[in-house]
Amino acid sequence: MDPVQALSEIAYWMERGRGETRRVEAYRKAAWALAALPPGELEERIAAGSLTEVPNVGPSTSAVVMEASTGVVPGKLADLRDKGKGPLGEGGESLRKLLRGDLHSHSSWSDGGSPIEEMVAVARRLGHEYLAQTDHSPRLTVARGLTAERLAEQLEVVEAINRDGADDTFRLLPAIEVDILEDGRLDQTPKMLDQLDIVVASVHSKLRADAETMTVRMVGGIANPHTNILGHCTGRLVQGSRGVRPESEFDADVVFAACAQFEVAVEINSRPERRDPPRRLIEVALDAGCLFSIDTDAHAPGQLDFLDYGCARAAAANVPPDRIVNTWPLERLLEWSHAKR
């Protein structure tokens, strides 16, 4: 098999299995380094046994390349494929088959680990019909949030990917995860938000504010005519390298009533460290008549398969599939997402 593709797929399976970031990056960076070599040089280095002279290619990644160059599937990749059989979460398999795409994903334009093109390639391989490119907004400087100027540049990249795609069965959606600021405004210019297909609005700062303050802030963001999805609404972390973080306090009845009124979907965030919102709040949102969106919040290609986790949680809470916006065909999705603007 193709040696560079073998390295990339190993990284994918390791990300999917929530492997250590440092180890995952070793395989992904090696793939990028070898893919960037001039034509013919990879084959020359394989023949000469000099792969480790290429920056970011070490003994382990070199061994994978040498094995793949003989025409066999490298043992490490075969083992990861075998371990990755079956869904990541049980109970949501039927619902997962109904999902047509993912409306929350990040790339190396902000705090994701891979280029947009690599995220798109994996989304296609997973059978997605669409993927929303939701990098962060400018106030989230720690995540290299996109200014209006950088977002405009990204929109050109998104347009080029859609124009140059191999077929018309997949669409990359121009989108953003925009911060809900303390006064309820959205952290991007209305002119730029007008150009997007999907706007995920989330709170990322001052998560320990009192319930009244947070409720007013969230409702302000929800009421904005550009907002389509309320992202990871409690901001909690239940596990992982960033530690744990309690839920933000807000009046759930008021917030979800606003989501229902303004036709803003409540995100069921599939990241294992978030599991946001918790089951009891999904049920409150259901009773309020809310729409939902099951999203990965992926920051790496292998995390795009985290939809399994979100589907399992949605199925356990008996969320009707037709109230999940990313079960909808693209035409219906875009009609909904642009209706308020």
213 vs 208: CA distance, rounded Å: 10
Task: Please give the C-alpha separations between residue 259 and each of 37, 93, 103, 143, 218, in angstroms, as whole numbers.
Answer: 50, 27, 17, 27, 10
pLDDT in tens, the chain (341 residues): 899 999 999 999 999 999 988 999 999 999 999 999 999 999 999 999 999 999 999 999 999 999 999 999 999 999 999 999 889 989 999 999 999 999 999 999 999 989 999 999 999 999 999 999 999 999 999 889 999 999 999 999 999 999 987 667 899 999 999 999 999 999 999 999 999 999 999 999 999 999 999 999 999 999 999 999 999 999 999 988 888 999 999 999 999 999 999 999 999 999 999 999 999 999 999 999 999 999 999 999 999 999 999 999 999 999 999 999 999 999 999 999 999 88
pLDDT at 165: 75
Is 298:119 a contact under the CB 8 Å cutoff?
yes
Q: pLDDT at position 341, please?
A: 82
Phi-psi region of 42 (alpha: psi -120 to 50; beta: other; left: phi over 0): alpha
pLDDT for 166: 63
Q: Do 290 and 261 meet the contact criterion of CB atoms below 8 Å apart? A: no
What per-residue confidence (pLDDT) applies to 243? 84
Three state DSSP letters for 204-245: CCCCCCCHHHHHHHHHHHHHCCCCCEECCCCCCECCCCCCCE
Both tokens of residue 148? 């209006």
pTM of the model as a whole: 0.94
> What pLDDT score does 303 carry?
96
Q: What is the pLDDT of residue 160?
A: 95
Tell me what pLDDT residue 241 has: 81
Sole residue written with tokens 């504010």: 209
- CB neighbours of 247 closer than 8 A, spacing ≥ 6? 234, 235, 236, 278
